Amino acid sequence: MEIEAEPNQERIVATMLDALHAEGIPFLLAGSFSSNYWGIPRSTRDADFVIELGGKGVLSLAKHLPPTMTIDPQMQFESVTGTLRNVIKVADTLFKVELFRLSQDPHDQERFRRRVVVPMLGRNVFLPTLEDVILTKLRWCGYLNRAKDREDIRQMLIVRQSVVDWNYVYQWCDQHDTRETLDEIRRDISPS
């Protein structure tokens, strides 16, 4: 399934994908792009990548980016999840790319290990599995209680509830104390 985004967003994400592939940097495309793939697409203002740099520097990507895409060399601390990120600003748009470092969090590690390759934007793209997108969004619900995360989960379940590996999801929900939130969202979905 191909997702659709605004043409400029597609071009920006495709450029970033090409740069990551060219540098051989393992990644997964997370955030709204992954929930849009597994659920019902919505608009977004950013593209979130989780990257594993190994011995490479994030600035090695700059040679593959057009002058309109600028990597902020200063790493930022994402206070909700405790991860580090670099932001790539794109001229003449509010859209941005965020490059999150793969953390040592057990679920972050497992999500990265389980990532799957899907066709998107004419490329092979690594995404978290459906289950791992649900779990990550549930954690964000717990941290920030954002309506968009609950709605993303709801939309993914409307589309794909019958194929979810519930044993895997419940195992992590129990560890993250997010089972009650998941159960609330599932109750809100009317049977088809």
Q: Is the dihedral of CA 94, 3, 114, 186 positive or negative?
A: positive
Q: What is the pLDDT of residue 65?
A: 97
CB 126 within 8 A of CB 159: no
β-strand partners of 29: 49
Query: What SS3 state is found at 25?
Result: coil
> Is 60 part of any domain?
yes
> Is 1 part of any domain?
no
What is the C-alpha to C-alpha distance for residues 101 and 121, in angstroms, rounded to an integer?
23
Regions of the chain short of the pLDDT cut 70: 1-7, 190-192
Range of the domain at 142: 7-188
Q: What is the pLDDT of residue 1?
A: 46
Confidence (pTM) = 0.91
What is the C-alpha to C-alpha distance for residues 168 and 137, in angstroms, rounded to an integer?
15
> Is 2 part of any domain?
no
Residue with tokens 């950013």: 46
Query: Where residue 49 sits, what CATH number does that domain have?
Result: 3.30.460.40
> Is 95 part of any domain?
yes
Overall domain count for the chain: 1
> Is 81 part of any domain?
yes
Q: What is the pLDDT of residue 60?
A: 95
Residue 104's contacts (CB-CB under 8 Å, 6 or more residues apart) are none
H or E stretch at 89: strand 83-90
CB 85 within 8 A of CB 97: no
Residue 105's contacts (CB-CB under 8 Å, 6 or more residues apart) are 81, 82
Q: What is the pLDDT of residue 192?
A: 52
DSSP 142-156: HHH--HHHHHHHHHH
Q: What is the pLDDT of residue 142?
A: 83
133: exposed, middle or buried (Cβ count in 10 Å: 0-12, 13-18, 19+): buried
